[in-house]
A and B are shown apart, each in its own frame.
Chain A
Amino acid sequence: MMLRSILLLAMIAAPRSAAADEIRFNRDVRPILSEHCWQCHGPDEANRQGELRLDDRDQAILDHGNGATIVPGEAANSLLMQRVTSDDDGERMPPVDHGPPLASKEIETLRRWIDEGAHFEGHWAFLPITNPAPPAIESGESAHNPIDHFVLKRLHESGLRASPEADKRTLLRRVYLDLIGLPPTPEEADAFERDTRPEAYEEVVERLLQSPHYGERWGRHWLDQARYADSNGYTIDAVRVMWPYRDWVIRALNADMPFDQFTIEQLAGDLLPDATREQRIATGFHRNTLINQEGGVDDEQFRIETVMDRVATTGAVWLGLTIGCAQCHTHKYDPISHREYYQFFAFFNNCEDMNNVGPTVDVHEGELFLPEESTPLHDALNNGLAHVEHLIAQRPARRAAWEQELAAKLQATASTPPPQWNTVPIRSATAEAATFTVLEDQSVLATPGIPRETYLIDAAQLVPGTKVGSLRLRFIPHESLPKQGPGLATNGNLVLSAVEVYLGEERLALVAASADHAQKDYPVDSLIDDDSGTGWSINVEPGSIAQMNAEHVVILTLGSQVDVGDRPLRFVLKHELNNDFNVGRVQFSVAEEVVDPLTDPVFVAALMVEDAQRSGEQRKLIEGKFDAGDQDLKAARAQLESVRVQLDLGPTVKTMVLREASPPRNTFLLKRGDFLQPDKDAGPLTAGVPQTFPPPTPRADGGAFDRFDLAHWLVAKDNPLTARVTVNRVWMHYFGRGLVETENDLGTRGSAPTHPELLDWLAWNFMKQGWSLKSLHRTIVTSATYRQSSHAREDAVAVDPLNLLLARQNRLRLEGEIVRDVALSASGKLSAKVGGPGSHPPQPDGVYAFTQNKKVWRTETGEGRYRRGMYTMFYRSAPYPMLSTFDAPDFQSVCTRRQRSNTPLQALTMANDVAMYELAQELAARALEQFPDSEPDALENRVKLIFERALSRPPQPSELKMVIDSLARSNAAEASDEQSRWTAVARAVMNTDEFITRE
């Protein structure tokens, strides 16, 4: 495709460059050298053959003794010409195993170029962006803005004229679909058709740019590049919470955040002075990398994979370069050395996250869409969150103080006698399905009931006046239990998510918990944290001296001693985390003392060790104890919670963000890109950008560069790539193809721009207008070029079969998400809700037959059933089938351009998919309801309604006849009901090519 475009372009350009025109290096010569020569005679030293460089004039004209490869002005004396024209297979370049000989036309180009002086030019995309003046146009040609001047000039040179403007309904549907991804309503289409004022179209454009759906439409394009998805990828592919990042993108675009700021916040929002929470959420951009949760993986290996992905993605998204090519060796075509790759790598190598562990930010559902202006509640929310953040940031210091205080206290109370534990007699134990036996020692033995059951265990009346300061739970093995353990899991384990203790109606506050043992990632504090998503469990790590199937003890401490009085004591044991991991046997005791869980001997031993000397386990234990007793933080969170409720926000979630590791990591060049082969001899590398580009601004503090500098460098005015790449991709979405066809490769092997001056004009003005994307959209969609008809033009085909010169618009099949959106719009069921967690619309049975784990998919019945396609829950290992069928990528890596296939699987989906069929039924029901049989012209009106809702236009008379005839045939053939017959009509219209196409 690429080469074909180049050839066609060359063909189209032929009249201009004929004979008299001089050879231009970038246009004519570079493609030949790049394609055939530079792999062995280019920038890559390791692969360079015969000491010869053909990418550098000084080197190429050197005479090493037997003549120079290139003698400027003398093609006949240049070795290059002898070698490419030789008849001897052993002599001729390129070598036989590297490809066919040069075409005679290519040889002629090289000859003329050398004869004309062999002038080199830098690669066009690396040269500074210019501000070309729009060319004059012929009288009689119509132009709305400078875009049209550039386009018309090229058309004129090729003897073509632009197409007329599309009809009003087509134009309206086009600009709706392009700007907000939804079709106009029939009423909006009617009104626009009637509105003959010249400014009518511009007004529509303004209205759409202000629509909240604009951010959804263009956010989705951006999310492709951000490789956003709702699961971790690889084999386990568990659900992740990243939708706050997605919502941040929608919000930022709706606010028309300047693209330079948009860039900086996503790449380095956390490093901005006084970074706001929103700015940190923005850094989720680079947390959309995959996480491998498989057992036995080397986390460092997958951390490195992540960093490499961040490099490749940054290169593709902002620079339009294939930086990843230099991962194993110096780039063969573009000026990026192996070493420079790892300098770029160093920008991201200091991110703290390590495979499945990394920093997060708390965010509330709905928060990102609160109005911008501040209200007392909104301030309280931000202050509350800031306070919580502050406490968390201060945690190490606060913990150190606490440790000191504690150590002193422990020394003072070293002689305190151990508490007296009194076994609690049990009256009864109940659950939904499990049954219980109270054993002689007053322990309760359970039989398996149903998954995730809650146990209610009531004590017999205690002696009135008993005082309770602490509770003890002993989980005792029993021979009747699996593996003679204390739990009901097949291996003897148990996972308890919460213990609640009640005295009569009063729920006792539990302030601390300790245990003799806790499974990795299942700390005992889970029992009292009011989080059903955490639990305490007893399995052991390989090599551990602890045993799973032995007695385990948990001690819970009350805030203060209570008098039981004559109130009944009840224990509630919850198992909310895992199926079939319920408790098997448990015994309860109480003590008068408010036992300090911190007197637990293992803990005391850990506390007495110097922080630096502590084992990982000891550190975890101490951190856990501190966190569990952190009343400051708990109070701050409670305060925040009340604000959240008042603001009517959803629950708190944690979204993944970037943070710099401390102390910083060293970056080494990895030989062959292998994480096991760091080149330590060469020493650590500092972060930097390839030499071929202007360097980042030196830091005021003189320190090493980090992501903050990288982000600013990407959007610096003298960066030649970012603005070009960005406007090119925006253009691509409007015309199906960028001005540079290879939108992800503006390097030397990419294709040349069809309209180089227009590209620079757009890029220059994009920056000049403050990097405003909305201004860029406005400029493009109000141009005459954009507004042209997309109908094929026989006269243009011969000259420009691929429509590279834009003598007309292109018909573009809609993206999968938008196909769903137009169906929802046609049916009238579309939910206008913006943002929030992913939704679960109906999907066909059997989607998970091929995944390692069955995914949870509870098909929604409410609003979630009808949300826009971009909100559909996206599992990387098993995507929503309709989206994949319509070419949605699987977001394993950056996607800068989607394919547009046209396949029978798409036909089966549109025709038979449960979700699509349901919407066709809805559309038919609407038609029937609005035009009952009693109405005059009910038939015609129903057809008209279906067409207008689905296609934004009334049917042609011929189409109306086709539908009515088909209805007549189905009446004759089958005695189905009205709803069913009209569903047939709606279904057919929703299956037309036009329905899923932007014309």
Chain B
Amino acid sequence: MNPAALRATTRRHFFGDCRVGLGALALGQLLGDAQTAGAATGAQISGANAPHCPARAKRVIYLFMAGAPSQFELFDYKPELQKHDGEPAPDAFFPKEKSFAFIGKGAKLLGTQRKFAKHGACGVELSELLPHMATIADDACWIKSMKTDVFNHGPAKLFMNTGFQAPGRPSFGSWVIYGIGSEAEDLPGFVVLQSGPRGPRAGNSLWSSGFLPTNLQGVPFRGTGDAILNLRSPEGWSPARQREFVDLTNQLNRERLQLTGDPEIATRINAYEMAFRMQTSAPELMELADEPAHVLAAYGAEPGQASFANNCLLARRLIERGVRFVQLYHTDWDDHGGPNENLGEPLARRCRQIDQPCAALVKDLKVRGLLEDTIVIWGGEFGRTPMGEVREGIPGRDHHVEAFTIWVAGGGFKPGHIQGVTDDFGYFAVDGQVHVHDLHATLLHQLGFDHKQLTYRFQGRDHRLTDVHGAVRHELLS
């Protein structure tokens, strides 16, 4: 597809420009550009939005486990660590140039209390906490050698989402919409859902469009009630009255359009029409009760109850309606130790909340033929230390950037592949290390983009998601 046509697609997405189709106002395309602060700069200069390689995937569902789950309790079983449980960690674990958030020299090695078993034909080892995930062992690509650079939650989440640890850069989702646009007629291209006791650290900068146009940013949907702020008409306004209101507003707008000839007014007329349609379509989207009982049961979803399970089902309904990028945040996996955040019941409870719906989502997408071109990512912002951190006598683990586990399913990622190996203590990846920048490069590749060419010019520089780093990791791909 040529850049101009693609760009038109991009701009047609819900939160963007609504003037496509107003043939009489072809001029608007040109004039409007002038007023949206360089909205199309990148596209026009580099033609970056044309795919650079064949796209294997068209959409992304990112299951973000905020707070960083422990790979030692879930994925990375280390007999050697078990053997040395309780012994002081070697000094070499605390090199001078490295710091941890909370622990220091003298911290003791911590074996896991969890039982592990191999699953599927690929034989991936998973803990007893993830019985449902075990059933998609051969559908997912297991990356046990992830590496990040940042060890505080907020900056690390930003790094995982934007490739930078300071706020202000476009998120991965925004880059994707910038690259391929959205097919959704009356929903945003990039939707964010949240479950768990609190919002993720770093907040809205995680789904910010940074210096990309603001209409590419993620739009938070609430899991219950009205999905979007201000979706509901004021008290006493029936749909018929609201229609009358939109009609009068747009009549007045048309008068002004005729007088001034400003195509922005035509855009606004369309925006009101679309907003009105959305007042119907968004509630319909949220009606989980419309799903058959067996689907609800498979996810463990209960209509009306905010939960990660409901959000997984919503994610499927969103991509079915053309949404490109859905990100689910589930808090809080930050198990440092202590009565409320430890590797015992608190971790088990969070696993129960997510295990079944994650597996159900992958299977559901597969049944519907959507998994082929949908990428599902599961993971946190970093991993946890092989050393224990003890708070009030109850152990947990500190933040660890050197090696942790995530998985990716669908969208051309190799099913049943186990990537990377960590050392005997699970401290470093000794083989097949995948850096966050590599993951970004590989994801973009599957979506049809060369990460070096998907750029946007801002303040005199062509910026990209991977900055000056990253390599496509073909071994992860089928």
Question: A-side interface residues toward B, CB under 8 Å?
Answer: 1-4, 99, 233-235, 237, 290, 292, 294-298, 305, 316, 322, 324-325, 332-334, 491, 542, 676, 736-737, 741-742, 744-745, 747, 749-750, 790-792, 794, 797, 801-803, 810-813, 844, 846-853, 876-879, 881, 887, 890, 892-893, 897-909, 911-914, 917, 956, 958-959, 962-963, 966, 969-970, 973-974, 976, 980, 984-985, 987-989, 991-994, 997, 999
Given A908-B230, A908-B231, A913-B230, verify A325-B274 contact (CB < 8 Å).
Answer: no
Q: How distant is the Cα of A567 from the Cα of B140 in the complex, in angstroms? A: 79
Expressed in whole angstroms, the minimum distance between the Cβ of A959 and any Cβ of chain B is: 6
Given A966-B244, A973-B240, verify A993-B265 contact (CB < 8 Å).
Answer: yes
Expressed in whole angstroms, the minimum distance between the Cβ of B383 and any Cβ of chain A is: 16
A-chain residues with CB within 8 Å of residue B45 when the two chains form the complex: 2-3
Q: Which of B234, B236, B249 contacts A991 (CB 8 A)?
A: B249
Q: Which of A2, A295, A325, A332 contacts B38 (CB 8 A)?
A: A2
A-chain residues with CB within 8 Å of residue B219 when the two chains form the complex: 905
Given A791-B260, A912-B233, verify A296-B459 contact (CB < 8 Å).
Answer: no
Expressed in whole angstroms, the minimum distance between the Cβ of B31 and any Cβ of chain A is: 7
Q: Is the CB of A850 within 8 A of B204?
A: yes
Q: Is the CB of A904 within 8 A of B14?
A: yes
Q: Is the CB of A2 within 8 A of B457?
A: yes
Expressed in whole angstroms, the minimum distance between the Cβ of A359 and any Cβ of chain B is: 24
Q: Is the CB of A904 within 8 A of B460?
A: no
12 contacts between A and B (CB under 8 A): A235-B154, A305-B166, A322-B460, A742-B460, A846-B222, A901-B36, A902-B264, A903-B271, A912-B234, A966-B251, A974-B241, A997-B264
Q: How distant is the Cα of A38 from the Cα of B252 in the complex, in angstroms? A: 52
Q: Is the CB of B264 within 8 A of A908?
A: no
Given A849-B199, A901-B213, verify A811-B194 contact (CB < 8 Å).
Answer: no
Considering the complex, which residues of chain B in the window 209-244 have a beta carbon less than 8 Å from any beta carbon of chain A? 213-215, 219-220, 222, 225-226, 228-234, 236, 238, 240-242, 244
Given A792-B260, A912-B231, verify A846-B225 contact (CB < 8 Å).
Answer: yes
Q: Is the CB of A988 within 8 A of B199?
A: no
Q: Is the CB of B204 within 8 A of A491?
A: no
Q: Is the CB of A803 within 8 A of B256?
A: no
- Give B257's nearest chain A residue, CB to CB: A993
Q: How distant is the Cα of A930 from the Cα of B384 in the complex, in angstroms? A: 68
Binds A, one of B15-23, B83-91, B403-411: B15-23
Q: How distant is the Cα of A900 from the Cα of B27 in the complex, in angstroms? A: 18
A-chain residues with CB within 8 Å of residue B154 when the two chains form the complex: 234-235, 292, 294
A-chain residues with CB within 8 Å of residue B14 when the two chains form the complex: 904
B433 interfacial contact with A, CB 8 Å: no
B-chain residues with CB within 8 Å of residue A812 when the two chains form the complex: 35
Q: How distant is the Cα of A741 from the Cα of B460 in the complex, in angstroms? A: 12
Number of A-B contacts (CB under 8 A): 281
B93 interfacial contact with A, CB 8 Å: no
Q: Is the CB of B249 within 8 A of A295?
A: no
Q: How distant is the Cα of A914 from the Cα of B229 in the complex, in angstroms? A: 10
Q: Is the CB of A848 within 8 A of B199?
A: yes
B247 interfacial contact with A, CB 8 Å: yes
B302 interfacial contact with A, CB 8 Å: no
Given A2-B38, A853-B198, verify A890-B253 contact (CB < 8 Å).
Answer: no
- Give A674's nearest chain B residue, CB to CB: B149
Given A881-B229, A904-B18, A984-B245, verify A676-B97 contact (CB < 8 Å).
Answer: yes
Most B CB atoms within 10 A — which of A790, A812, A912, A984? A912
Expressed in whole angstroms, the minimum distance between the Cβ of A759 and any Cβ of chain B is: 18
B-chain residues with CB within 8 Å of residue A233 when the two chains form the complex: 167
Q: How distant is the Cα of A904 from the Cα of B37 in the complex, in angstroms? A: 18
Q: Is the CB of B234 within 8 A of A901?
A: no
Q: Which of B30, B203, B246, B253 contacts A993 (CB 8 A)?
A: B253
Expressed in whole angstroms, the minimum distance between the Cβ of A166 and any Cβ of chain B is: 11
A-chain residues with CB within 8 Å of residue B249 when the two chains form the complex: 988, 991-992
Expressed in whole angstroms, the minimum distance between the Cβ of A305 and any Cβ of chain B is: 6
Closest 4 CB pairs of A and B: A792-B261, A296-B101, A235-B201, A877-B203
Given A792-B261, A902-B267, A903-B215, verify A4-B44 contact (CB < 8 Å).
Answer: yes
Expressed in whole angstroms, the minimum distance between the Cβ of A798 and any Cβ of chain B is: 10
Expressed in whole angstroms, the minimum distance between the Cβ of A109 and any Cβ of chain B is: 19
Expressed in whole angstroms, the minimum distance between the Cβ of B397 and any Cβ of chain A is: 13
Q: How distant is the Cα of A542 from the Cα of B337 in the complex, in angstroms? A: 14
- Give A898's nearest chain B residue, CB to CB: B37
Q: Is the CB of A235 within 8 A of B253?
A: no
> Residues of B within 8 Å of A, CB-based: how many?
97
Expressed in whole angstroms, the minimum distance between the Cβ of B324 and any Cβ of chain A is: 17
- Give B210's nearest chain A residue, CB to CB: A892
B33 interfacial contact with A, CB 8 Å: yes
Q: How distant is the Cα of A908 from the Cα of B36 in the complex, in angstroms? A: 20
Q: Is the CB of A904 within 8 A of B245?
A: no
Q: How distant is the Cα of A985 from the Cα of B247 in the complex, in angstroms? A: 11
A-chain residues with CB within 8 Å of residue B44 when the two chains form the complex: 1, 3-4
B392 interfacial contact with A, CB 8 Å: yes
Q: Is the CB of A907 within 8 A of B241?
A: no
Q: Which of B40, B46, B233 contacts A1 (CB 8 A)?
A: B40
Q: Which of A325, A797, A917 contacts B460 (CB 8 A)?
A: A325
Q: Is the CB of A802 within 8 A of B236?
A: no
Most A CB atoms within 10 A — which of B192, B202, B279? B202
B248 interfacial contact with A, CB 8 Å: yes
A-chain residues with CB within 8 Å of residue B120 when the two chains form the complex: none
Q: Is the CB of A325 within 8 A of B278?
A: no
B394 interfacial contact with A, CB 8 Å: no
Q: Which of B41, B168, B203, B271 contacts A904 (CB 8 A)?
A: B271
- Give A970's nearest chain B residue, CB to CB: B244
Expressed in whole angstroms, the minimum distance between the Cβ of A294 and any Cβ of chain B is: 5
Q: How distant is the Cα of A974 from the Cα of B241 in the complex, in angstroms? A: 9
Q: Which of B229, B232, B260 contacts A790 (CB 8 A)?
A: B260
Expressed in whole angstroms, the minimum distance between the Cβ of B115 and any Cβ of chain A is: 31
Q: How distant is the Cα of A985 from the Cα of B252 in the complex, in angstroms? A: 11
B353 interfacial contact with A, CB 8 Å: no
Q: How distant is the Cα of A905 from the Cα of B216 in the complex, in angstroms? A: 13
Q: Is the CB of A877 within 8 A of B205?
A: yes
B294 interfacial contact with A, CB 8 Å: no
Given A890-B204, A962-B248, verify A846-B229 contact (CB < 8 Å).
Answer: yes
A-chain residues with CB within 8 Å of residue B33 when the two chains form the complex: 1, 4, 802
Q: How distant is the Cα of A942 from the Cα of B219 in the complex, in angstroms? A: 39
B364 interfacial contact with A, CB 8 Å: no
Q: Which of B102, B205, B234, B460 contacts A296 (CB 8 A)?
A: B102
Q: How distant is the Cα of A290 from the Cα of B202 in the complex, in angstroms? A: 12
Q: Is the CB of B16 within 8 A of A749?
A: no
Given A333-B460, A904-B271, A908-B275, verify A877-B204 contact (CB < 8 Å).
Answer: yes
Q: Is the CB of B460 within 8 A of A745?
A: yes
B259 interfacial contact with A, CB 8 Å: yes
Seed contacts A235-B202, A904-B271, A989-B252; 17 additional CB < 8 Å A-B pairs: A1-B39, A292-B154, A676-B97, A801-B27, A813-B264, A846-B222, A849-B194, A892-B208, A901-B39, A903-B15, A904-B278, A907-B268, A908-B228, A958-B255, A974-B241, A980-B236, A988-B248
Expressed in whole angstroms, the minimum distance between the Cβ of B27 and any Cβ of chain A is: 6
B-chain residues with CB within 8 Å of residue A970 when the two chains form the complex: 241, 244
B-chain residues with CB within 8 Å of residue A852 when the two chains form the complex: 198-203
Q: Is the CB of B200 within 8 A of A850?
A: yes
Q: Is the CB of B252 within 8 A of A908?
A: no
B272 interfacial contact with A, CB 8 Å: yes
Given A846-B229, A850-B200, A912-B230, verify A906-B271 contact (CB < 8 Å).
Answer: yes
Q: Is the CB of B261 within 8 A of A737?
A: no
Q: How distant is the Cα of A966 from the Cα of B250 in the complex, in angstroms? A: 12
A-chain residues with CB within 8 Å of residue B166 when the two chains form the complex: 305, 892
B-chain residues with CB within 8 Å of residue A999 when the two chains form the complex: 260
A-chain residues with CB within 8 Å of residue B97 when the two chains form the complex: 676
B153 interfacial contact with A, CB 8 Å: yes
- Give B279's nearest chain A residue, CB to CB: A908
Most B CB atoms within 10 A — which of A908, A958, A970, A999? A908
Q: Is the CB of B213 within 8 A of A959?
A: no
